[in-house]
Structure formats: structure tokens, C-alpha cells
Structure 1
């Protein structure tokens, strides 16, 4: 993807550092939004079975004319499909909706610890990976103890842990646990659902760089080495969210954004979401 760096995963596969997320985009609008993103230069698309828009993503991919080997497509297994056999069936359904033979990245969407199924689920993902049906496997919303339990199985270590990260919720312990195991941190809700964009620290930095507050926050993520998947249905914002690689934040500006941590979670807590 021209102008956009890639991150190398622990199995040697590379994925674009900036992808396009489709959370909460209605199925009827998904194909148009993904088409706009692909035209803007995105090559990584992140969806999930729970978003109920995998078919819309697949339609946009088919119509795009972008060669398959230039694309990086992620989807996620929903909680009710956890368990070894259920996972295999759910994977088949997801790739069918996407119109793909091989998926680039498949994630367990939540650990749902009370269900007690995520280790069996991981074994199913590893089986699919060993068969070559997925190029990389990972997890989402896993806390350090969940991640270590998967690693302790002794099989494939997750390539990615997609967690909520933004200036008000930096999950430093989770990021450190990811790094210790060679797992890439991917940030969902990287803008805190726009909740940080009017913070004076952010707006002053944006003014100094003649950038939008969203671009400043996304650049902060990029400079700290995370993969990000900002979402928008507005064509101009879709383009702006990718225009992050011709400016740089200073060390002082990075520190000012780091200081906004306030445990400001916008989604469920992984220990309690089952």
C-alpha cells in the first residue's frame, strides 16, 4: 500500500499499519464505504461476524478490481460460536460471506472467560492456520492472563491482539504483555469514538501541525508502533485518516497525549463481557 508502512507479524506476514474498520456500518452501506476506502488507498479491511456486514465487505472487494494479493482482510469469531467444532463452522460461514478462499487474519472477538471455551476455540483456529486456510491468527480484547493461557498451550502464538486503545485508555499492561510474547497490538476505537477530539491538548497540537485532531491522535498511535483501524463513512474523513505519514509529532507532543490516560474505557471490560 503506497505510502503506508506495514507491520511484520511474528510469523513473518506483513499487514498495513492503517486499516479500515467497519464496526456499526449497516450492511446496506458497507459496500459503498469499503469501496471508498479502497479507492482512497486502504488495503486492510477489518470486519467481524458480529457486525453483520461481512457480505457487504465481500461485495466491495469483488467489485474493486484490487488484486487479492494486495489486500489484507480480517474478520472475527463471535462469542456464541466459540468451541472447537462451532469455530470451524463459523469460519466457513464467514469466508463464504466474504467471498474468500483464504483469510488473512482471524481473531477470537472476546475471551468470554465465564464460557471457558477460548482455549478450545484457539485450537480450532490453529488447525485452520496449519491447513493454510488463514494466513495469521490472533485474538481481540484479551487481557494478559488470557493471552498467556493461549501461549501456554505451546502451539501457535497469537500474531495480533486487537484491544481498545486511545489516549484515555492506553492499556499499558496489556500492551507490554503483547510485546513480551511478540504479539502486535492493534487498536480498536483509536479515537475513543471521537471522545478525545475536543481535548485542548489534542486541538492545540492539531493547530500547530495544521492537521485535524483525528489525524493527531492516529499519528500518536502510529509513532508508538500500533496497528490502527479507524472507521468513518464520510469520504473526506476516510481519506484524512490515511494521511498520517507526512508529519511527525515531537517527543513533547507525544508525552502530552500520553498524559490523557484516565481509564476511559468506551467498550465492555473483557473480564465481565460474556
Structure 2
């Protein structure tokens, strides 16, 4: 079925996430949860048709800190529940990561959060999280008590495709959100994307977003201008062929943001 602006992906939690997101990105570290909550209340859109995400900052890793941060995020946003909360990065050490995850699991059980996940987790962090989930199931009374991983959010684009992370998540039905899918505009004029933009009568930004969608990712393009937000949404009237999708990948590993995915487990 062709993708549309209303297309969604079903998460392991059972809830659905829009397949195209927008980088009105919320996190405790960004100090914009209150503003996002105000915007949601001011909109004429029913709450259940808005998907709101926030993140636990690195400095709040650990059971008690994460538990308090969830309540603070709810208070700051003024919302009754948060659709998705992510651990912003894998920093803090193994015990802190496990404690934070346990706090998120309890937040889901309390109805404060619908889905939970992580951000910037490499495969070794994901493997550890899978082990933590198994341990929590044993400690907390059985299957499902360790929580359900629904999302991993990472910087992903043709110049840092992170195939290992994408494949790990795909095997488990975990959605992969791609932040900086436009490479912060630093790769405009690349021959492959420029050629496809000319072929389809689209911008290079639209080509990169369509690449993410064809890969089954959830791209999160950032923009603060109405015109570009509309442009970023106008990517459902064309498709890239499998060959064109493959042709956009360069074999490079050139992230433009921070890269916690490669941090050792001890960090």
C-alpha cells in the first residue's frame, strides 16, 4: 500500500507512531516541554491524534532520577500522558541504564507513558538492554514485566546508514527513528541526490526523506519555517526504486551530530 502523510507504524507496545515526524523535538534537556504542551492544547487537533515524545537526559539516568523526570516532564508539558519517552543516550553505566529502564516500565504500568524506547543506542547497548529486560522479568514476576522496547532513535541518513542498528531493530519489530535525516543541509549537491531531485522534480531534502521512508524508517526532519515544513511533508507523490535507494548510500560513516552509539558500556 502506498505511503501517505497519515501512514503509521505499529509499535511493539501496540500503539501507532506516524511514519513521518517533525523535528519539533522535545526533551527535558531542550527545556521545551512546556511550550510543546501549550501548542498541543492550543491546536484544534484531538489529543489522540498528536504523538508527543520526550527524553530522559543523560544527567537523569538511574532509577530515582528517571522516575522523578517522568513526573517532571508530565508537569512541564501539562499533559495527562506522554506517547513516547526515550532514554536520550546510553551514558551512565550499566546499573544506571537498567534503573532508568525500570523506571520507564513502571511509568507505562502507571498510565503515565504509552510507549518507551531509547536514543543513540548502538548494538552493544541494545544487547545489554535485552538482557536487562530479561533480568527485570525474572525480578518483577514474569513475561512482560521487563517492559517493551518500541523505538531506537539515531542519526541516520545515506552518509551514516547504521545498518547494524537498523537490522537489530528490524529483527525485533522495533521502530527506528532517523534524526538529522537531511544531514543538516551539509551534503547538498551530492551527485546521486541531485540527479534524483532533477528526475522527480523534487528538492534534495525531499529525496533524502523519501530514502528514509523507503527504508522503513521514521524520519524526523527539523524545521521552524512553515514553508519548509510543508515541503518536508510533500514526499508522498513519488517513490524511489530499490536501485535508487541503494544508490544513495555511499558506504561512508559520516555522522554530523554527537555519536553515543559507539560509546563503550562503561561510559
Compute the TM-score of the two structures, normalised by the length of structure 1: 0.87
1:28-47 alignment runs, 5 A limit: 46-47=25-26
Partner Cα distance (1:71, 1:180) in 2: 28
Q: How many residues align structurally?
A: 250
Q: What corresponds to 1:241 in structure 2?
A: 232
The Cα of 1:142 is off from its aligned counterpart by 0.5
Match of 1:201 among 166, 183, 192: 192
Q: What is the CA distance between 1:198 and its match in structure 2?
A: 2.0
The answer (yes or no) to whether the contact 1:215–1:240 under 8 Å persists in 2 is yes
* Contact preservation (8 Å) 2:153, 2:179: yes
TM-score by length of 2: 0.89
Distance between the aligned counterparts of 2:219 and 2:22, measured in 1?
A: 8
Rounded to whole Å, the distance in 2 between the matches of 1:12 and 1:173 is 25
Task: Tell me which residue corresponds to 1:264.
Answer: 254
Question: Is contact 1:110-1:141 (8 Å) kept?
Answer: yes
CA distance in 2, matches of 1:236, 1:176: 34
Contact 1:58/1:98 (8 A) holds in 2: yes
The ranges of structure 1 where at least 4 consecutive aligned residues each deviate by more than 6 angstroms after the TM superposition are none
| Offset, 1:239 | 0.5
Contact 1:191 1:197 in 2 (8 A): no
Q: Provide the residue aligned with 1:42 in structure 2.
A: none
CA distance in 1, matches of 2:94, 2:12: 28
| 1:5 is the counterpart of 2:11 | no
Which ranges in structure 1 are unaligned for 5 or more consecutive residues? Answer: 23-45
Structure 2 match to 1:16: 18
The secondary structure found in structure 1 opposite 2:149 is: coil
Aligned match of 2:143? none
1:232 aligns to 2:235 (yes or no): no
Does the CA contact (< 8 Å) of 2:5 and 2:20 recur in 1?
no
Distance of aligned partners of 1:249 and 1:194 in 2 relative to their CA distance in 1, 3 Å threshold: same
Give CA deviations for 1:188-237 in whole Å, capped at 9, x if unaligned. 11111112232111011001100010000000100110111111112111
Q: CA RMSD in A?
A: 1.7
Matches within 5 A, 1:104-253: 104-114=83-93, 116-152=95-131, 153-154=133-134, 155-253=146-244
Deviations 1:32-66 (A, max 9, x none): xxxxxxxxxxxxxx311111211111111111121
Cross-structure match for 2:140: none
